[in-house]
Structure formats: C-alpha cells, structure tokens
A and B are shown apart, each in its own frame.
Chain A
Amino acid sequence: MTSEWPLYEVFIRGKRGLNHVHVGSLHAADDEMALHNARDLYTRRNEGVSICVVRSVNISASSPDEKDAFFAPSGDKIYRHPTFYEIPDNIPHI
C-alpha cells in the first residue's frame, strides 16, 4: 500500500454543448472525492457544467514511439477534410 492517493484524470464540459475536454489531473482517495476535488480545482472560473473523472491507470494511451505508424498515414489525405465546401462565418467550433 502506498501512502499517496491514486491519480485521476479530469475532463470538463463547458457550457456550449462541446464535448468533455481533458483539463488536468489530481489526487483523490476515491471517485467521489475526485469529483469534489475536480470541482474545486478546475471549475473555479465558471468553466464547467459537467465533470468526468477516471483513474489514470484505467486509461490506455498511444505511445510517442508509435506516432508515425499511428498518425503519419493520414497526413497526406487532404480530401478527408471538408475543405472544398464554403463554411458560413457563423458556424463555430469546426
């Protein structure tokens, strides 16, 4: 047993109907405390309407070593972007 509380990753959803965004991490002894701590650490400036927290050990992430194999193949496929359409000025968050 370690004396340090487990690490959690924090995701906040803002008011604009956007998706949850990773904002940082924190330590907490249990899930409920992690939610409380996230509220106190990451929503002090009215940032959020929803918080998700998850134990960092439960997140699988791609490794920097795999960067080329993972992402380089999509680098030359410009036709996958909707860049051949006119996008009206008042459409946000594209």
Chain B
Amino acid sequence: MSYQDAYSAINDENDSRWAFGTGFEQPVSTVDAPIPSGVDGADLAAYCLMLGEDALILSHRLQEWCTNGPELEDEVAIANIGLDLLGQARLLFGRAGQADGSGRDEDFYAFFRGPDEFRNVALVELPRGDFGELIARLLVFATWRLALFSRLTDSADPVLAAVAAKGVKEVAYHRDYAAGWAIRLGDGTDYSHERMRAGLDSIWPYIPELFVPHEIEARLATADVAVNPETVRAEFDDVLAQVFGAATLALPVRAAAQESGRVGRHTAALPPLLAEMQSVAREHEGAQW
C-alpha cells in the first residue's frame, strides 16, 4: 500500500495496526480566510511579522543549544520548544503574505529580509548565555507570550485566533518547563541560586520593551484584532511573583527600557544571527528538500 505523504500513511482510516503515534492533526490551514472588514491588510501583516519574528529568532537561539545542553533530556526539551516556536513563525508568516496582498511565502520573510526589516523584540536576539540565562529568558518570554496568546484567541482575525489557540497549549508547556527549572535552580544550592540570579539580571533590562505598544499594535487592538501588550503586564507580574516566591528569588528592580526591536532598533547580535540562519537559503535560492 502506498501513500501520498506521511500524514495519510499514519492517518489511514484502517490504522488500528498502529498501537502508538496516530491521530495527527493537520496544521492550521490559512487558506481562504478573509481579512476582517475595516482592518488594514498592511497593519495585519506587520503585526503577524512581529509575532512571527519573535518566535523565529528565539527558535534559532534555542537551536543553538543542540549539542550544548547540560543533559541529553533537556537538550531534547529545548529543541522541542524551538520547534514549537518555529511552527508558530511559519503560520504567522503565511498569514502576513496573505494580509499584505503579496502572496509571498514564509521563506521570503524568514530568509530574504535584512536586519533593518525585522521587528522582533530585543529579548529574543540576545546572544546565547548559560543555562540560567536560558531559563530566565524562556520564563519571561513564555509568560509574556502566553498572556498575549490567551487573549488573541478572541481575535477578530480568524487565522490569528486559530494560531493563538494552537500556540496557547505549546507556550503553556514552555512556561511550565522554564518555571520548573527556575524553582529548581533558585531553591537549589547557593551556587545554582546565584547562576539563576545572574541569568535574570542579564535579561531584565529587556523586559520593559515587551509592554510598550507599537502604534500598529495599538491600532489593531482597538479593532479587536491584536492585543495591546500594556494590558498583560499585571498578569505577567503576578505569574513571575509566584514563580520567584517558590524559587526564593527576589524580583529584580524594574529597569529602564533598552533597545527596542519593535521599532527597528536592534542589538549588535541580530545581524550575525540572521547571516547564519539565512546563509543556506540564500546560497541555494529556491532549493527544495
């Protein structure tokens, strides 16, 4: 018996011969979803790119942990989280290509634009630090993104709502993973506490930017398409306070905002990251594998 692809092979109606690993869902389909009336397609595309780039760039940083993880088990966990985020980026880029009317595909947005066109937050592009820094960054990012996505499930854009509904389950696990490690390290030995503390200190200046609404976000939020990030600050603070309490970590003092990737001011870490990530696609343009 032959099948068109792996999905149809594993989802054959008569699949009782598989004891494990069946019942896959098709990825969220983005075809034929109209842009909500009264919404500027260019705005919607820019918003999808912001959320997509956050996921893509952090996914790349997580991939850098392959062969560098402290334990084999955690290396796989980190790679899984990176794959989840990469999947979110693909769906969001696909929607951007529809919304801006260009029909460009996900590869264009990921691989054929330069650093000055990226609008990801600076937090995700920072160079890879130690495991404490990774956990701090993942905890902050997942807490922030879960708060955004859980509200985005009510978006007036059906594709954003579907992407958010799928992403909520993924990001909830990411937050759980990071919170578990933050508590283990913070409430562990003096040494692990200090490393966790140092990790938090290094990323803390990049938190304020997460809650500054970009003008496009603000516009789309009034049309119930986007979430104004200002509105999730209270939930973010609550969650972190709970984790920090269990981890016996003191909350760092609020820092002044640093770089703001949302308006195109990036750290020096972004250009080399993109150069590496984009090198294969640019070397072999249009290649399929």
Contact = CB atoms under 8 A, between A and B. Distances in A.
Interface in B65-102: 71-74, 76-77, 80
A22 interface: no
Given A33-B180, A36-B177, A46-B24, A14 B73 contact: no
Given A41-B76, A47-B21, 6 more contacts: A15-B22, A27-B71, A29-B184, A37-B77, A40-B77, A45-B21
Contacts of A14: 19-21
A52 interface: no
B37 interface: no
Interface residues of B, number: 18
- Give chain B's interface secondary structure class: helix
A32 to B, nearest CB: 7
B26 interface: no
A77 interface: no
Interface string A9-53: 000101110100100001111001100110011001111100000
B255 to A, nearest CB: 31
Pairs of residues from A and B, 5 with the lowest C-beta to C-beta distance, nearest first = A47-B20, A37-B73, A40-B77, A45-B21, A14-B20
A5 interface: yes
Interface of B: 16, 19-24, 71-74, 76-77, 80, 176-177, 180, 184
A40 to B, nearest CB: 4
Interface in A67-94: 92
A46 B72 CA distance: 20
Nearest to B81: A40
Nearest to A41: B76
B16 to A, nearest CB: 5
A56 B24 CA distance: 32
A24 to B, nearest CB: 11
A40 B84 CA distance: 12
A37 B180 CA distance: 12
A12 B20 contact: yes
A48 to B, nearest CB: 7
Nearest to A49: B23
A18 B187 CA distance: 39
Contacts of A29: 184
Contacts of B23: 15, 46
Nearest to B188: A29
Contacts of A40: 73, 76-77, 80
A28 B176 CA distance: 16
Q: Which of B16, B21, B24 has the most CB of A within 10 A?
A: B21
A27 B73 contact: yes
A36 to B, nearest CB: 6
A26 to B, nearest CB: 6
Nearest to A32: B180
Contacts of B16: 16, 92
A92 B73 CA distance: 35
B73 A41 contact: yes
Given A37-B73, A40-B73, A41-B73, A48 B184 contact: no
Contacts of A33: 180, 184
Contacts of A16: 16, 19
A28 B77 CA distance: 13
A5 B21 contact: no
